Amino acid sequence: MSAAVLDPPGDAPVVELTGTVDFKSVPELRKRLLKVVKKRGGDGLRLDFRRVTRMDTSGVAMLVELHQLASSRGSRLALIGLNEQVRRMIQLARLDRLLGVSIGEEAGCQ
Amino acid sequence: MIQWVAWLGAFFLDRVGELGRSGLFFYRMIRGLFRPPGKFHFVVKQVYFIGTKSFFVIGFTGAFTGMVLGLQGYYTLSKFGSEGLLGSAVALSLIRELGPVLSALMVTGRAGSAMCAEIGIMRIEEQIDALECMAIDPHAYLVAPKLIACLIALPLLTAFFDVVGILGGYAIGVDLLGLSSGIYMDGVERSVAWEDVYMGIVKSLWFALLIIWICTYKGFYAGLDEGSFGPEQVSKATTNAVVASSVSVLVCDYVVTSILL
Amino acid sequence: MSAESHLIDMQGLNSHYGGRQVLFDIRFTIPRRQVTVIMGVSGCGKTTLLRHLIGLKATQPGQVMIDGEDLGGFDEAKLRAYRLKTGVLFQGGALFNSLSLWENIAVPLKVHTRLPEKIIRIMAVIKLGLVGLSEFCDYMPSQLSGGMRKRAGLARALAMDPEILFVDEPSSGLDPITAAGLDQLILDLRETLGMTIIVVTHELESAFHIADQLIVMDQGRVLAAGGPEEIQASGDKRVRQFLNRQADPRWTENPATSSCLPGERVEEGKG
Ligand SMILES: Nc1ncnc2c1ncn2[C@@H]1O[C@H](COP(=O)(O)OP(=O)(O)O)[C@@H](O)[C@H]1O
Ligand SMILES: [Mg+2]
C-alpha cells in the first residue's frame, strides 16, 4: 500500500492510492489522509482508486470517517476510478449514496 | 465384587483424567499470560471486581475476626497473667494465618464463584467456542487477566484484613477490657517481624493462584463430562468450584506453613 | 470439477460422542464461492458436522481435506490461520452477554488488528447494518429478541470479512420477512464478496432459494447431494419424505420395542 499526495495549485488535493486498502494498511493510511483533510479542510479531497486492487470493510469505514470530517468542514470527498470489488464493497454496506459512488461512475472517470 | 473393582477403577481413572486435564488447563492459563490480546484493560476491570467490590466484606470479616481474637486472647492470656502479650498474639495470628486464609475464603465465595459461573455460562452458550473460532485463545482472553488481577488484589485485601483485624483487637483489648493502649501497640510492633509479613504475602499469592485456577477450570469445563450443557451444569460447577477451592486453600495453607516455618 | 475449485473435501468423516457414533462416512465436496446448504431433520448431525469443519471437534486424519490439507493434521498455527479466514454463526448466536452489540463485533477486530477504536465502531455499525440492526449498536444482547441475537451473531461472524462463512440455522425463530432478508444477504455476500458459504438449515423454502448445492442428511448419513433441481427430482424415498414434510414413520413405531423401556432388557457386562 502506498499513498502519494498530489497538490495541484488552485484545485482540491488528490491522493493516489496504490495496492490494497485493508485492516493492515488502514491505520497508517488513515493518519495520512486525516492530516490532508485537516490541513486542506475546505478544499475537498479527491481519492484516486485506480491503482487499488482490493478494499475491505475497514477501508469503507475509513472513507466514512473521512467523509464525516470533510462534511463538517463544508467540503466533500470524491472517489475516482473505483474498481468492481471496491465499488461492491461500498454498495454492500449501502454507503454508495453517502459516499457518492454510483454504478457506472467509474466509466466516466477513467 | 468384580463390578466393585471396575467401579473403583473407573473412579480413579476419572480422577487421573481430571488431574491431567486441570494440569493442562494450568499450563494454558500460564501460557495465556504471555499471549495476545493485551490485558491491561481487562486486568483493571477484574481488579475492580475482585478487589474494590470485596473491600467491604473483607473489612467486616477482618474487624470481627480481630475482635474475637481480642476477646479469646485476653481470656486465655489473663489465665497466665500475660495480658500484655495480647497485641502480639492478635497481630501474629492475623498476619501469619487468619488474614491470608480468611481473605482467600471470602474472595472465593464472592469473586471465585462469580467467575466460575460467568465462564460456565460462556461455555454452555458456546461463547467460548465462538472465541476459539475467532482465533482468540480463551485462556489468554478470559482466564489470564483474572489471574493477574487476583495476584494483585488478594495480597492487598489480605493486608487490609490484617490492619482492620489488629484495630478490632485493639478496640476489644484496650477500649473494652481496659488494656493500656501503649502495651497493645508495643506488642504488635515488637513481635511482628519481616518473616511474618513475608509468609502472609507468599500465602496469599499461592491462594490467588489456586482460587483462579480451580474456579475458572470448573467453569471452563462445565457440562463437558455430562455432555449436556444447561444451567444445572453451571450451578453444579460453581458449587464444586467453591468447595474445591476452599479445601485447597486450607490444605495449601498447611503446606506453605510447614515449608516456611 | 478439478480439485482446485473445491474448498472442502469430506472423504469419509465419522464422528462419535462418547461411544455413540453420530456421523457415518460423510462424503461430499464444498465448492468455492458458492452456497452449500446442509439439510436434515433436527438431531441428524448437522451441527456436529459443522463443529468438525470449524475445528471445534477433533477430526481423525484423512477424513476431511481443507484447501488440499488434512484438517485432522492441522497444527496450532494452521488452525489459527484457517480460523482467521472463517466466520461462524452458532445456533444460539453465542453473543458475549457482558458486551453491547457493537463491542461484540469489535472483539475480533480489537484482538487481530491495529485499527483505531473509531474505525472499529464504524465497521461494527456497517456490519450491523447488513443484518438490519444498526439502530441497536449500543444495546446489550439481553435486550434483544432471539431472532435479533441471531442476526447480531451473523454480523459478528462477518466482522473480519471472512472468506468462508459457516451458518447454523440462521432463520429458525425468525419471521418470514426477516428470514427472507437474511437469505438475500447470504446471496449478496456470495455475489459481491465471493464468499464460500455453508448454511445448515431445515427450512426447505429458504434452502432451495439460496443453495447452489444441497446436501440432505438423515441419521448421520448423507442421503443425497446435488444442485437444487437434482434434489427436487430425486426419487429416494427418504429424500421425498423430507421434501414433502411427511411425518417420520419412526415416530409412530411401537414403544414396546424401545430400548428405553425398563424391564426385560438383558444386563450387559454380567457373567
Ligand atoms: N455434546 C453432545 N454430547 C453427546 N451427544 C451429542 C452432543 N451434541 C449432540 N449430540 C448428539 O448428536 C446427534 C446429532 O446432534 P446435532 O449435530 O446437534 O444435530 P442437528 O444439529 O442436526 O440437530 C444427536 O443425536 C445428539 O443427541
Ligand atoms: Mg443443530
**Tens digit of pLDDT at every position of chain B (261 positions):** 778 888 888 888 888 888 899 999 999 999 999 988 878 889 999 999 998 889 999 999 999 999 999 999 999 998 988 888 999 999 999 999 999 999 999 999 999 999 999 999 999 999 999 999 999 999 999 999 999 999 999 999 999 999 999 999 999 999 998 888 899 999 999 999 999 999 999 999 999 999 999 999 999 999 877 767 788 899 999 999 999 999 999 999 999 999 988
Whether residue C161 is predicted with pLDDT greater than 70 in this model: the reply is yes
Cross-chain residue pair A91–C192, CB shorter than 8 Å: yes
**Among candidates A61, A56, A62, A7, which has minimal Cα distance to A36?**
A7
Contact A16, A3 (CB under 8 A): yes
The one-character DSSP state at A42 is: G
Q: For residue A104, what is the enclosing H or E element? A: none
Whether residue C263 is predicted with pLDDT greater than 50 in this model: the reply is yes
**Among candidates C95, C192, C181, C188, which has minimal Cα distance to C146?**
C95
Contact C84, C112 (CB under 8 A): yes
Closest-approach residue (CA) in chain C for B137: C80
Whether residue C129 is predicted with pLDDT greater than 90 in this model: the reply is yes
Whether residue C150 is predicted with pLDDT greater than 70 in this model: the reply is yes
Cross-chain residue pair B127–C107, CB shorter than 8 Å: no
Per residue in C54-74, pLDDT (tens digit) is 999 999 999 999 999 999 999
Does residue B26 belong to any structural domain of this protein?
Answer: no
Q: What is the structure's pLDDT at B84? A: 85
* Mean pLDDT confidence for C235-258: 74
Between chain B and chain C, the number of residue pairs with CB atoms below 8 A apart is 54
Pocket around ligand 1: residues whose beta carbon is below 6 Å from it?
A: B 227; C 17, 22, 40, 42-48
Does residue A30 belong to any structural domain of this protein?
Answer: yes
For residues C170 and C166, what is the distance between their CA atoms, to the nearest angstrom? 10
Query: In this complex, is the C-beta atom of C140 within 8 Å of any C-beta atom belonging to chain A?
Result: no
**Residue of C15, C47, C54 to mutate, ligand 1, most atoms within 8 A of C-beta:** C47
Q: What is the structure's pLDDT at C170? A: 87
Contacts of residue C20, defined as CB under 8 A and 6 or more positions apart, other chains included, come to: none
Does residue B148 belong to any structural domain of this protein?
Answer: yes
The full length of chain C comes to: 271
Does residue B218 belong to any structural domain of this protein?
Answer: yes
Per residue in A14-65, pLDDT (tens digit) is 889 999 999 999 999 999 999 888 887 667 788 999 999 999 999 999 999 9
Distance (Å) of CA B122 to CA A53, B41, C109, C110, C151: 40, 20, 20, 20, 19
For residues B82 and B183, what is the distance between their CA atoms, to the nearest angstrom? 11
Can you tell me whether residue A13 is helix, strand or coil? coil
**3 state SS for chain C:** CCHHHEEEEEEEEEEEECCEEEEEEEEEEEECCCEEEEECCCCCCHHHHHHHHCCCCCCCCCCEEECCEEHHHCCHHHHHHHHHCEEEECCCCCCCCCCCHHHHHHHHHHHHCCCCHHHHHHHHHHHHHHCCCHHHCCCCHHHCCHHHHHHHHHHHHCCCCCCEEEEECCCCCCCHHHHHHHHHHHHHHHHHHCCEEEEEECCHHHHHHHCCEEEEEECCEEEEEECHHHHHCCCCHHHHHHHCCCCCHHHHCCHHHCCCCCCCCCCCCCC
**DSSP character string of B50-107:** HTGGGHHHHHHHHHHHHHHHHHHHHHHHHHTT-GGGHHHHHHHHIIIIIHHHHHHHHH
Does residue A109 belong to any structural domain of this protein?
Answer: no
Does residue A84 belong to any structural domain of this protein?
Answer: yes
Domains of chain C: 1-14+32-85+162-271 (3.40.50.300), 95-161 (no CATH)
Does residue B234 belong to any structural domain of this protein?
Answer: yes
Q: What is the structure's pLDDT at B37? A: 83
Q: What is the structure's pLDDT at C258? A: 64
Q: What is the structure's pLDDT at B151? A: 97
**Among candidates C230, C150, C212, C137, which has minimal Cα distance to C182?**
C150
The one-character DSSP state at A74 is: T
C-alpha cell of residue A49: 482508486
* Mean pLDDT confidence for C226-254: 80
The one-character DSSP state at A5 is: E
C-alpha cell of residue C252: 409412530
C-alpha cell of residue C172: 429458525
C-alpha cell of residue A79: 472517489
Which of B126, B135, B227 is the closest to C94 by Cβ?
Answer: B126
What's the ipTM?
0.88
If one counts the domains in chain A, the total is 1
Residue A100 gets the label, from left (phi > 0), alpha (psi -120 to 50) or beta, of left
Cross-chain residue pair C115–A89, CB shorter than 8 Å: no
Q: What is the structure's pLDDT at C52? A: 96
Cβ neighbourhood burial of C78 (10 Å; 0-12, 13-18, 19+): middle
Contact B218, B240 (CB under 8 A): yes
Per residue in C170-223, pLDDT (tens digit) is 887 788 888 898 999 999 999 888 899 999 998 888 999 999 999 999 999 999
Q: What is the structure's pLDDT at C251? A: 63
Q: What is the structure's pLDDT at C19? A: 87
Does residue B52 belong to any structural domain of this protein?
Answer: yes
Q: What is the structure's pLDDT at B25? A: 95
Cross-chain residue pair B130–C108, CB shorter than 8 Å: no
**Full domain range(s) for residue B157:** 37-260
Whether residue C1 is predicted with pLDDT greater than 70 in this model: the reply is no
Query: In this complex, is the C-beta atom of C84 within 8 Å of any C-beta atom belonging to chain A?
Result: no
CATH number at residue A38: 3.30.750.24
For residue A61, report the distance from its CA to the centre of ligand 2, in Å.
34
Buried/exposed B119-142: b ≥16 CB within 10 Å, e otherwise: bbbbbbbbbbbbbbbbbbbbbbbb
Does residue B19 belong to any structural domain of this protein?
Answer: no
The one-character DSSP state at B35 is: S
Can you tell me whether residue B144 is helix, strand or coil? helix
Does residue B21 belong to any structural domain of this protein?
Answer: no
* Antiparallel, parallel or unpaired: β C64-66 and C6-17: antiparallel
Which of A27, A61, A92 is the closest to C114 by Cβ?
Answer: A27
Average pLDDT, chain A: 82
**Full domain range(s) for residue A96:** 2-103
Does residue B197 belong to any structural domain of this protein?
Answer: yes
Contacts of B223 in chain C (CB under 8 A): none
Kindly state the percentage of chain C with pLDDT values over 90: 68
Q: For residue B123, what is the enclosing H or E element? A: helix B113-124
C-alpha cell of residue C176: 418470514
Which of C119, C189, C193 is the closest to A62 by Cβ?
Answer: C119
Whether residue A100 is predicted with pLDDT greater than 80 in this model: the reply is no
Average pLDDT, chain C: 88
- Chains with at least 3 CB pairs less than 8 angstroms from chain A: C
Sign of the dihedral through C-alpha B12, B13, B16, B18? negative
Q: What is the structure's pLDDT at C237? A: 86
For residues C38 and C192, what is the distance between their CA atoms, to the nearest angstrom? 22
CB atoms near residue B227 (< 10 Å) = 10
Q: Which atom of ligand 1 is nearest to the CA of B228?
A: 1
Q: What is the structure's pLDDT at C238? A: 86
Q: Which atom of ligand 1 is nearest to the CA of C168?
A: 21
Contact A95, A60 (CB under 8 A): yes
